[in-house]
C-alpha cells in the first residue's frame, strides 16, 4: 500500500493522510461478487477512468471524460458489451449515467471485472457520491460530495482502491 491508495477501513477510506467516511454495498464485502448481489468486491482495484457531468460541475481532473445524455453502462451479462460504457438507444439492460439526482455527477471507474468481463461476476464498481451518510450502495463505494471531489483532484494513475 502507498499514500496514493484508497484503503477501505472500518472507519472509512484512508487516502492521502485522511480518513473519509463512506458507504459500501448493502450486502457488505464479498470475495465472490455476482451481478446484482449488492456487495462490494474484496480486492485491489485500479482506478481506470473518471466521468463527470459538465452541466453540473467543472472538470475535476485533466483525464476526466464528460458524461453525455446518451451515456449508459451495460449491466446485462448476455450483452457482448457487458460492464462497458455504451450509448442510447441500447437494447440490453443498462444503467443511465446521466441521472436526475447527483449520485453520478462525478464517477471514478474501477477495473472490477473490466475490460474483459466475465458474465455474471458483476459490473460497474464505481466510486461516486452517496445519497446520505450510511446509506448503502449496490456494491460501489460512495462519499460525501466534497470528499469525492477532493479525492478526484488527488488521485494519480497509480491510485488503487483496496478492499480487504
| pLDDT, tens digit, 9 for 90 and up, residues 93-121 | 999 999 999 999 999 999 999 999 999 99
In this structure, are residues 13 and 20 in contact, taking their beta carbons and an 8 Å threshold?
yes
Domains in the chain, start-ordered, CATH in brackets?
6-67+98-163 (2.40.440)
| pLDDT, tens digit, 9 for 90 and up, residues 31-53 | 999 999 999 999 999 999 999 99
Q: How far apart are the first and last CA of the chain?
A: 12
Q: What is the pTM of this model?
A: 0.95
Amino acid at each position: 500500500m502507498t499514500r496514493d491508495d484508497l484503503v477501505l477501513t472500518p472507519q472509512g477510506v484512508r487516502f492521502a493522510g485522511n480518513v473519509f467516511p463512506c458507504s459500501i454495498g448493502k450486502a457488505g464485502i464479498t470475495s465472490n461478487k455476482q451481478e446484482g448481489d449488492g456487495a462490494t468486491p474484496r480486492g485491489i482495484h485500479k482506478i481506470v477512468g473518471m466521468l463527470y457531468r459538465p452541466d453540473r460541475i467543472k472538470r475535476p481532473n485533466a483525464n476526466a471524460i464528460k458524461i453525455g445524455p446518451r451515456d449508459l453502462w451495460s449491466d446485462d451479462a448476455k450483452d457482448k458489451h457487458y460492464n462497458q460504457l455504451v450509448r442510447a438507444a441500447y437494447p440490453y439492460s443498462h444503467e443511465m449515467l446521466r441521472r436526475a439526482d447527483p449520485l453520478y455527477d462525478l464517477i471514478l471507474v474501477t477495473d472490477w471485472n473490466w475490460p474483459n468481463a466475465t458474465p455474471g461476476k458483476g459490473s460497474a464498481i464505481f466510486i461516486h457520491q452517496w445519497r446520505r451518510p450510511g446509506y448503502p450502495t449496490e456494491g460501489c463505494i460512495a462519499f460525501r460530495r466534497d470528499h469525492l471531489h477532493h479525492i478526484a483532484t488527488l488521485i494519480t494513475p497509480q491510485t488503487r482502491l483496496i478492499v480487504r
